[in-house]
Structure 1
Amino acid sequence: MPSQRQITVRRAPKFVPFLVTGGLLGVIAAAIFGYGGTIPDGYTREAVFGYFLVLFVAAGVLVGGVVVLIIDRVSVRRARRATVEELPDDDDGEGSAS
Structure 2
Amino acid sequence: MTSQRPARTPRLVPFLFTGAIIGFAIGGYFGVRGGPMGGYSVASSLGYFGAFGIFIGGLLGAIVYLIADRRPR
Q: Same fold (TM over 0.5)?
A: yes
TM-score, structure 2 as length reference: 0.84
Asked which structure has the greater RCO (Cα within 8 Å, sep 6+), the reply is 1
TM-score normalised by L of structure 1: 0.64
Higher strand share: 1
1:33-91 per-residue CA deviation (whole Å, 9 max, x = no partner) reads: 011123313110011111101111000000000001100000xx21xxxxxxxxxxxxx
The structure carrying a bigger helix percent of its residues is 2
Distance in 2, Cα, partners of 1:61 & 1:41: 28
Alignment RMSD, CA only?
1.5
- Structure 1 segments (4+ residues) deviating >2 Å: none
Q: In terms of Rg, which structure is larger? A: 1
| Percent of pairs with identical residues | 38
What residue ranges of structure 2 are gaps of 5+ in the alignment? 1-5
